[in-house]
Amino acid sequence: MPSSQPKLNQDKTGTLEAFADTIVPGAKRNEQDRAVAGVVPWPGAVAAGALELLQTAATGMSDSLEAFADALNAHAERLHAQSRPDPAGEPAERDPGVPPFVALSFAERTRLVVILTAPGHPERHLWVSLALFSNMAFDTGAHLHTADAIAAGHPGLAALGFAPPSDDGQWRFSEFSYGRPLARLHPDTTPSGSLA
């Protein structure tokens, strides 16, 4: 799969990772990890390859990732400005060492994503698309051949319990049925199998 691999700087990468982590949260990768909030003990969208997928040209998103990160940080700035404890006072301090969206708590990130993806928000289609691909990275590993992803222990497919393929890379389930009647048929069933 060809990838345009646009160069994202650390801040923009971190911003998009924080978004993906809000959709499918995961454990921090290391003690210094700020993008991943670490609200669950298992790997999430970031570990599953959300940034790799988003940077794949096939998504149609890869050329717009910087703009997504900038817009997300602008929304986070506004949220931050609105969240001053005293309405007449100064905004609460935020960590200047990380992008505004990364500086938000997991609960604040979640609140912002709820707002951005809600019916009626003018930009919702953009944020829904970003959420869709973040989710897809975890649930399907769509930047990888699925058989390879499973062999490599892809954390999303493993979390789902997605069964591995046969040796030839195809899926087959020889055992698939309880093999016995489990309900009465509708009394109007015809020989075609449909209702009369």
**76 CB burial (10 A radius; 0-12, 13-18, 19+):** buried
Nearer to another protein, 11 or 33 (CB): 33
Under DSSP, is residue 189 helix (H, G, I), strand (E, B) or coil? strand
Least distance from another protein to the Cβ atom of residue 164, Å: 11
Verify binding: residue 184, another protein, rule CB under 8 A.
yes
Structure tokens that stand for 101 in this block: 């969206």
DSSP string of 101-120, one letter each residue: HHHS-HHHHHHHHHHHHSTT
Verify binding: residue 153, another protein, rule CB under 8 A.
no
Contact in structure between 188 and 195 (CB atoms under 8 Å): yes
Verify binding: residue 84, another protein, rule CB under 8 A.
no
Verify binding: residue 173, another protein, rule CB under 8 A.
yes
The per-type count for the chain, helices as H runs and strands as E runs, is 9, 0
Least distance from another protein to the Cβ atom of residue 58, Å: 4
Region from 5-13, 86-94, 96-104, 154-162 binding another protein, contact rule CB under 8 A: 154-162
Verify binding: residue 167, another protein, rule CB under 8 A.
no
Verify binding: residue 195, another protein, rule CB under 8 A.
yes
Of 103-132, binders to another protein (CB under 8 A) are: 110, 113-114, 117-119, 125, 128-129, 131-132
Write the CB contacts of 135 (distance below 8 Å, at least 6 apart in sequence): 23, 24, 45
